[in-house]
A and B are shown apart, each in its own frame.
Chain A
């Protein structure tokens, strides 16, 4: 109710999406609800086709850790058999399930991107709850150029078969064309915003845009998702996403302009406050560089497959570095920051390559260690000191 009031009052896309994502998530707790635990990159449209809402462990863990349930989840995490050096998203989601703060899975659906750890988690949950685990094998894209046709065809075939299987499993009738039309509406809006940001016409806060896209992952293919993303097209709709000017009106905007890589510390704003205090802004976020293409509703699987294969963080470290350089150049960024999320091997493993490629390209680069689920103010003094030095160097 509170989120509904806030959404109605503000009229912003962000509040609208929050309200609908939370409402859909709450419905997963109802008696007899069908709960698909899915990988973060799992195409939600396949579930929306059957009126299902995905439970994405990373999103669910983040939401719970931002609520009064944090203490309970943290206590369960400390008791968990999973070691502490594991990704905290996954540990928190697992702990929340163990304490019944999250509903048990009816099915677990994986994708090889972005990490093996999440596949291990979903597979193990499926075993424990005696439900199916089905994973989409997504090949690594080439370092240069688009995904190969044979790769697209392979993944498209898997997606098609899985879509049918979900229908058989749930006994529901599909409405994939409608889900894809909703998805295309959202993608059109998202691309339009992306183009505006790239051209410099729109200055949106990368930290908030990350959160928007993160939550939006639950609603691709739904009417609420389409409407939420379309609200970004109006000034009122994106009012709480713009970068505060802080007296920089009439100048060339905030400086330094930064690109943020990987995830963000969701509940700890200290890094972003430091950036704002120095007059800078995160103008782009790496994880938002997806869902930019509309997908043909009449033949959706190849488009969905291509979207999965060509995700900016999938593929080799060299590919990721190339895309980051392109993004930094396109966004006219003064520097790039990588958030080293605790326990994320696939993200941390690209750092040496990123560091050397960005150095070669003359793009200042900083990595900061942290935990995406840290408490507010959880960022270390070392992190703040490193960030301050970096910002001062850029000014």
Chain B
């Protein structure tokens, strides 16, 4: 049975661990140079040996695929969120017009994976231009320890064949790097395709980087379409304003993670490619594919409004916003487009826009319902909004409202 081990790199406790634990890290600590990452998290095999980690950037590749050769798959976002987000003075300096998600992942990868003695790997799918270039930057520092597969935008047969070839090459790369390392426990103990054991939060049984609505999604609220989110701040702000979240489609959302986690541990490359392209429909996907995906998710959620949260300097996100707007128009749903950074804090201006939009939604239901004629007396049960209001939640602390 694998266990999850957490220990601070700077801690003396790390030295007390047997050498077989995380060889690269312990060597680095002994040399007094492992001061760039605050935490290392890795699974232990039954014999107590730390396995090598294979990080991944965007949620485009099934973590289970990375586990096929015994590596512990881990999202780079977990490193980014655990770190302080500050670039090392000698680190890679990106242009200010670079998407903050890429900058954060790059900083995290650079500070951890370039530490002397570190032999961990990283798989960075070339999802968008910025992420492709992040891979290029890291390749200069990491050499063959980074793999940059190309993930097609479409999911047709030709695209599946191409991705299958990429996956075959990726598998060969993983196998090459696995040689001489301790393999992670096989499928029974560390089932490929299940939640990332390296970052699983025992309380939620989900990887910590996966975002889900803080309250069970309910119809009649807003459906949120977003790129990568670092947490639930945005969703909580919506709930705090008295409007339920009806659904979430995010690069780091729970549905995407679940879709990528599903599947058999030992699929053929073709089947893997097919599953991955079906599961990872994101803002960079072909418009037809993305439209179908979003339309279906929105239809299932029955929302009363649509919010698109875009990362600044994100090209696919920008075009996804246009698509979301057109879907909202078709479905006659109120629409709000906002910009949220990474980490995704809800700043004052965003909160103001958000609340104005949400108030409009509740106003629609309270006062502008065209089923009710203005001159008719309102029946008692129609005077209340179907949406929860402050009165429904008198004891809830409404933190952070301006």
The stretch that binds B, out of A120-128, A169-177, A274-282, A291-299, is: A120-128
Instruction: Find the residue from A115, A135, A316, A355 having the highest chain B CB count within 10 A.
Output: A316
**Are B312 and A85 in contact, with the CB atoms below 8 A?**
yes
Least distance between A227 CB and chain B CB atoms (Å) = 36
Beyond A116-B129, A353-B140, is A121–B313 a contact (Cβ under 8 Å)?
Answer: no
- The answer to whether the Cβ of B333 comes within 8 Å of any Cβ in the partner chain is no
A-B contacts, 24 listed (Cβ < 8 Å) = A81-B322, A81-B325, A85-B312, A86-B318, A115-B315, A116-B153, A117-B129, A117-B315, A117-B318, A120-B318, A123-B153, A123-B319, A124-B319, A135-B153, A137-B158, A317-B140, A346-B132, A348-B95, A348-B133, A349-B94, A349-B137, A353-B137, A355-B93, A356-B140
> Is A183 part of the contact surface with B, judged by Cβ < 8 Å?
no
In the complex, chain A residues whose CB is within 8 Å of the CB of B137 = 317, 349, 352-353
Does A340 sit within 8 A of B, measured CB to CB? yes
A137 and B162 form a contact (CB under 8 A): yes
Distance (whole angstroms) from the CB of B88 to the closest CB of chain A:
13
With a cutoff of 8 Å between Cβ atoms, the chain B residues found around residue A260 in the complex are none
6 shortest A-B CB distances, which residue pairs? Answer: A349-B133, A317-B136, A345-B129, A117-B315, A120-B319, A346-B129
Residues of B within 8 A of A121 (CB): 319
B162 contacts A124, CB within 8 Å?
no
Q: Which secondary structure dominates where chain B touches chain A?
A: helix
Residues of B within 8 A of A123 (CB): 153, 286-287, 319
Residues of chain A contacted by B323 (CB below 8 angstroms): 124
Q: Find out whether the CB atom of B322 lies under 8 angstroms from the CB atom of A349.
A: no
Q: What 20 additional pairs, Cβ within 8 angstroms, besides A124-B319, A318-B140, A352-B137?
A: A83-B312, A85-B97, A86-B318, A116-B316, A127-B291, A128-B326, A133-B287, A139-B150, A140-B126, A316-B136, A318-B136, A340-B97, A342-B97, A345-B129, A346-B129, A348-B94, A349-B98, A349-B136, A352-B92, A353-B140
Tally of A interface residues using CB under 8 Å: 38
Chain B positions within 8 Å of A, measured between CB atoms, are: 92-95, 97-99, 126, 128-130, 132-134, 136-137, 139-140, 150, 152-154, 158-159, 162, 284, 286-288, 291, 310, 312-313, 315-316, 318-319, 321-323, 325-326, 337, 339
- Known contacts: A119-B153, A346-B129. The answer to whether A352 contacts B94 by CB under 8 A is yes
Give a binary string over A75-111; 1 marks a CB under 8 Å from any B CB, 0 the rest: 0000001110111000000000000000000000000
Distance in Å from the Cβ of B330 to the closest Cβ of chain A?
A: 12
Which A residues are CB-close (under 8 A) to B134?
Answer: 349
Chain A residues in 8 Å Cβ range of B94: 348-349, 351-352
Measured CB to CB, the closest approach of chain B to A325, in angstroms, equals 14
**A343: CB under 8 A from chain B?**
yes
Q: Is A4 an interface residue (CB 8 A)?
A: no
Contact of B315 among A137, A140, A345, A351 (CB under 8 A): A345
Residues of B within 8 Å of A340, CB to CB, are 95, 97
Given A85-B313, A317-B133, A348-B98; A127-B92 close (CB under 8 Å): no
Residue of A nearest to B323 (CB): A124
Q: Are A346 and B140 in contact (CB under 8 A)?
A: no
Contact A352–B153 (Cβ < 8 Å): no
Is the Cβ of A83 less than 8 Å from the Cβ of B287? no
Identify which of residues 316-335 in chain A touch chain B, using a CB-to-CB cut-off of 8 Å: 316-318
Q: Does A384 lie at the interface of the complex (its beta carbon under 8 Å from any beta carbon of B)?
A: no
* Inter-chain contacts of A352 with B (CB < 8 A): 92-94, 137
Smallest CB-CB separation from B322: which chain A residue?
A81
Contacts of B153 in A (CB 8 A): 116, 119, 123, 135
Q: Does A350 contact B (CB under 8 A)?
A: yes
CA distance A349 to B315 in the complex (A): 13
Specify which of A124, A317, A318, A356 is in contact with B322 (CB 8 Å cutoff).
A124
Q: Which residues of chain A are near B97, meaning CB under 8 Å?
A: 85, 340, 342-343, 345, 348
- Identify the A interface with B (CB < 8 A): 81-83, 85-87, 115-117, 119-121, 123-124, 126-128, 133, 135, 137, 139-140, 316-318, 340, 342-343, 345-346, 348-353, 355-356
Smallest beta-carbon distance A140→chain B, Å: 7
Contact partner of A127 (CB less than 8 A), chosen from B132, B284, B287, is: B287
Give bound CA distance, A124 to B134, whole Å.
26
Q: Is A350 a contact of B133 with CB atoms below 8 Å?
A: yes
Q: Which residue of B lies closest to A87 (CB)?
A: B315
What CA separation (Å) do A82 and B337 show in the bound complex? 11
**Which single member of B95, B159, B310 contacts A83 (CB below 8 Å)?**
B310
> Which residues from B are CB-within-8-Å of A81?
321-322, 325, 337
The chain B residue with its CB closest to the CB of A120 is B319
Bound complex: CA of A110 vs CA of B19, how far in Å? 53
Measured CB to CB, the closest approach of chain A to B281, in angstroms, equals 14
The answer on a CB contact under 8 Å between A349 and B92 is no
CB distance from B122 to the nearest CB of A (A): 15
Bound-state CA distance A383–B209 (Å) is 40
Q: Cβ of A351: which chain B residues have Cβ within 8 Å of it?
A: 94-95
**Docked-complex contact A349 and B132, CB < 8 angstroms:** yes
With A and B bound together, what is the CA distance between A349 and B137 in angstroms?
8
Known A127-B288, A342-B97, A345-B98: A83·B318 in contact at CB below 8 Å: yes
Of the candidates B93, B133, B310, which one forms a contact with A346 in the assembled complex, judged by CB atoms under 8 Å apart? Answer: B133
Report the bound CA distance from A116 to B137 in whole Å: 18
Distance in angstroms from B357 CB to nearest chain A CB is 16
Q: Take A82-B322, A352-B94 as given contacts and tell me if A345 and B128 are in contact as well, using a CB distance cutoff of 8 Å.
A: yes
How many angstroms from the CA of A81 to the CA of B97 in the assembled complex?
19
Whole-angstrom distance between the Cβ of B136 and the nearest chain A Cβ: 4
Most chain A beta-carbon neighbours within 10 Å: one of B126, B162, B287: B287
- Complex formed: what's the CA distance from A126 to B284 in Å? 16
**With a CB–CB cut-off of 8 A, which chain A residues contact B316?**
116-117, 120
Chain A residues lying within 8 Å of B158, measured Cβ to Cβ, are: 137
- Please indicate the chain A residues that have their CB under 8 angstroms from the CB of B159 in the complex: 137
Q: Are A318 and B98 in contact (CB under 8 A)?
A: no
Chain B residues near A318 (CB-CB < 8 A): 136, 139-140
* Complex Cα–Cα for A87 and B129 (A): 12
Min C-beta distance of A350 to chain B, whole Å: 6
What is the chain A residue whose CB lies nearest that of B130? A345
Q: How long is the Cα–Cα vector from A81 to B320 in the complex, in angstroms? A: 11
Which residue of chain A lies nearest to B93 when distances are taken between CB atoms in the complex?
Answer: A352
Closest Cβ–Cβ distance, residue B210 to chain A (whole Å) = 25
Instruction: State A351–B129 Cα separation when bound (angstroms).
Output: 13
B1 → A minimal CB distance (Å): 41
Residues of A contacting B162 with CB < 8 Å? 137
Which A residues are CB-close (under 8 A) to B132?
346, 349
Q: How far is the CB of B335 from chain A (nearest CB, A)?
A: 10
Please give, as numbers and ranges, the residues of chain A lying within 8 Å of B133 by CB-CB distance: 317, 345-346, 348-350
Complex Cα distance, B285 from A51, in Å, reads 32
A343 to B314, CA, bound (A): 9
**Complex-state Cα separation, A99 to B194, whole angstroms:** 50
Minimal Cβ-Cβ distance residue in B for A117: B315
A288 to chain B, nearest CB (A): 22
| Contact residues in B for A345 (Cβ distance below 8 Å) | 97-99, 128-130, 133, 313, 315
